[in-house]
Structure 1
Amino acid sequence: MNNSNLENASDLYVPGTLGEIYDLLGSMVLSAPTFTDPSFPNRDLNNRFLQLTLGFDAVRTKIGEDHYNVLTNLSLRAKVLFEHDQNDSNGKTDEGRTILFQIEELIGKLLI
Structure 2
Amino acid sequence: MQITQFLHAAILVSDLEKAEHFYGTILGLVKLDRVLKFPGAWYEANGVQIHLITDLSARSELQNVEKWGRNRHLAFLVADVNAAKDQLLKYGCEFQMSASGRSALFVQDPDGTVIELGS
TM-score band by shorter chain is under 0.3
Structure with the bigger percentage of strand: 2
Larger-gyration structure (1/2) = 2
Scaled by the length of structure 1, the TM-score of the pair is 0.24
Structure with the bigger percentage of helix: 1
